Structure 1
Amino acid sequence: MPVSRVVDCPSEWQYAALFVDEELSESFEDPIPLSTGIETSHHERDIGDILCELASQIDTENVSLFNISRNHLWEGAKRGFKKKTFLPCKRLSVKFMDNTGVSEGAVDLGGPRREFLTMLMESLHQGSLFVGPDHAKFLNYISGLMVSDDYFYAGMTIATSLVHGGPGPQFLSPVLFEALSSTPEPTFVAVQDIPDMDIRNNLEKLLTYQEEHSNTANLFEPIQTLMQLAGTHKVIRNADDYRKIAEGTAHWYIFGRTQAAFERLKEGLKTLGVLDAMTKYPNAFKHVICYTEDTLTAKTFDNIFHPVLHPLGSNKRGTENLVLSHWKDFIQELQDEPSDVTLMSLLFFSTGCRTVPPLGFRTEPTVDFLHDAEDNGEKSRFPKANTCNCTLFLPTVHEVYEEFTEAMRYAVLNCQGFGFA
């Protein structure tokens, strides 16, 4: 029996158990903000408020259509951005294609868009446009990507994701973010920031060189060409001059060498006014552009999803109470016992996002229950999700906790996207 992650806001249903209030789903109401845990002073604004203001530009009556193959996500995204009919202020409508080129059959009322934007951020993180540690990446200058203008589209992607309800990248180096939200020239670059280990090690030798030495050929020879390109040659008068050469060369390596790519990235970030907002409110944007330790816990997960319950005393309510006890133990187990299923993957299954987007969800995420029989006359053994209105439907047939968790894990691991896995 194939497992389904419920067709996300489909125009035609193969399952009869799920009913969607399309009038409610299609409305573009103000998002429901969820606390980020980031305190802001009276001089700052909350990131959700800023993005809500930027999102007011979106024309919900017109759409920019993206036809996307998951195996060629970045190329499909660029193709969509390049369409003559594309405008970033139009509502994004995403239709995923399976591996044979057949549409997965979802009308995008929010879920496919969030999944698309989430996957785009992951594609940027894993791609060749950026280099360095997972949580602190810098631009990686590649001439071929300059020709295809990928750095511009990367900036546009980040801006579009933030304003259209997707996640931020959360992997750019704080040093790169500082330069983007101000200018590169005064931004300090430590030698330790350089991702190339050979260059970093050779520059670190300059930092640790404390004694006067009549022959520095061995010290400078490995970085001679780099220093010439950076223009950091100078007469050595004292130990501090070694530091100045090392830090000046590091700054050029991070920003001077990648200047053209940096400017195209900034140009893309201007989309929908995001760069201007970053410049005005850097503290608000930093935690969605750079990595922040913001672990999804069972408690926050439980607070995100609110159960839709039948009246007390009803037979269905009794069943729901049992399922809820299983559900709460399950999400606690995912927090306490790391495995191939995580709270992030469960959130992705339910909403199309691995983290709560900075703009929040447009409808309050809910937990509902699969009480009714399907077309085959039996109740579903597996959970389903409507990611457009962020509803997770839990099976009601499992009285034993282990059977419930097995069904939950199987569904999350085996269902990708919209339709049938």
Structure 2
Amino acid sequence: MASALTNVEAVLTKINLNDLLNNFIESKVDNLETCRALTDADLSRLGITTIGDRTRFRSEGAVDLGGPRKEFFAILMRDIKQKYFDPVKEWSKDYEVIGKIFALSILQNGPLPRIMTTDLIEELFETEEPRQFVKDLRKGLDSLGFYQLVRSLPSLIHLFTPIQPTPITFKKITTLLKPEFAAEGSNRMKAEKKVYSKFLKYLREAASGRRGDVNLAKVLKFATSVEEEPILGFTLHPSLHFSERKSHLPTGNTCINRLMLTVPENGGKLPEEDVLFNFFDYAFCNAYYGLQ
């Protein structure tokens, strides 16, 4: 208990709100894991009333459970494919570094490096005397032991073999984004289920292509930073939560794979469906991560 309280106290002290520590102790909010589940309304009751203070509190108490890291590797993979494999630039001296990035992305449960042709993959792992840039790529992979690992276990070549991405289906995304409802039978739960029902209808429209640029992969990326489930699964299972706020824009926390939907404040009404869905469109097309 003491260690956990010290962590909460350290966060409050760093953002000059240490006078609120007793509020946290009395409310038994005694560790950072509990803090990450607090809504804006919860934080306001604890004395953190401004948007700026809430943002700083969450930033200081955040723990990276893989979201930003996966997004970082996804950006790298996209750029590497465009700059070094479409087409291949044999004269470049960067392929050893690229090999290291490939190995790190796999080991960190990031996107798989499925950006090479089958001929190039064969040259990388099977040819005795490959071209120089392939040797460099091989050297980069082997800096983390990955080239020798694939040589010993040839079935691992599938980690590099290009395949058509599996589309995210309605069933898949609703299985991944499990809603966390309030207590059974409570008014809050009834309000949350109304919001969730609208969200499910929106997902069906997105799945059928009726939401313009929004597809289900973008919705998943908004919450988790990736458009498909990692090969080893998510370190922390994605979840869907509800928060009382003025804004009906969904927010996402990719550090903990969480999507947050708005429940109207003080028992208010939801916006008209087309208005609500436009909020969803705006969020999922613009990576809107929670600034109000």
Structure ID, larger Rg = 1
Seen in structure 2, the aligned counterparts of structure 1 residues 295 and 119 have a Cα distance that, compared at 3 Å, is same
Q: C-alpha distance in 2, partners of 1:387/1:25?
A: 16
The percent of aligned pairs where both chains have the same amino acid is 27
User: For 2:242, what is the secondary structure of its paired residue?
Assistant: strand
Q: What's the RMSD between the two structures over aligned residues? A: 3.0
Q: C-alpha distance in 1, partners of 2:189/2:228?
A: 30
CA deviations on 1:177-213 (whole Å, 9 max, x unpaired) are 2333x3125xxxxxxxxxxxxxxxxxxxxxxxxxxxx
Match of 2:185 in 1: 313
Q: C-alpha distance in 2, partners of 1:271/1:359?
A: 22
User: For 2:145, what is the secondary structure of its paired residue?
Assistant: helix
The structure 1 segments of at least 4 consecutive aligned residues displaced by more than 3 Å after TM superposition are: 21-26, 105-108, 280-285, 418-421
CA deviations on 1:38-76 (whole Å, 9 max, x unpaired) are xxxxxxxxxxxxxxxxxxxxxxxxxxxxxxxxxxxxxxx
TM-score by length of 2: 0.71
Alignment of 1:22-421 (within 5 A): 22-23=32-33, 109=64, 110-127=66-83, 129-132=84-87, 139-142=88-91, 145-146=92-93, 150-180=94-124, 182-184=125-127, 259-287=131-159, 289-337=161-209, 339-371=212-244, 373=245, 379-397=246-264, 398-415=270-287, 420=291
The answer as to whether partners of 1:167 and 1:356 remain within 8 angstroms in 2 is: no
Gaps of 5+ in 1: 1-10, 13-18, 27-104, 133-138, 186-254, 374-378
Q: C-alpha distance in 1, partners of 2:63/2:144?
A: 21
Could you tell me which amino acid in structure 1 is paired with residue 203 of structure 2?
Answer: I
TM-score by length of 1: 0.50
Gaps of 5+ in 2: 1-13, 16-28, 37-58, 265-269
Q: C-alpha distance in 1, partners of 2:224/2:35?
A: 13
Q: C-alpha distance in 1, partners of 2:143/2:222?
A: 29
CA deviations on 1:307-334 (whole Å, 9 max, x unpaired) are 1111221111111211221222222222
The answer as to whether partners of 2:252 and 2:290 remain within 8 angstroms in 1 is: no
The answer as to whether partners of 2:179 and 2:240 remain within 8 angstroms in 1 is: yes
User: For 2:213, what is the secondary structure of its paired residue?
Assistant: coil
Higher relative contact order (CA 8 A, sep 6+): 1
Match of 2:39 in 1: none
The structure with the largest helix share of the pair is 2
The structure with the largest strand share of the pair is 1
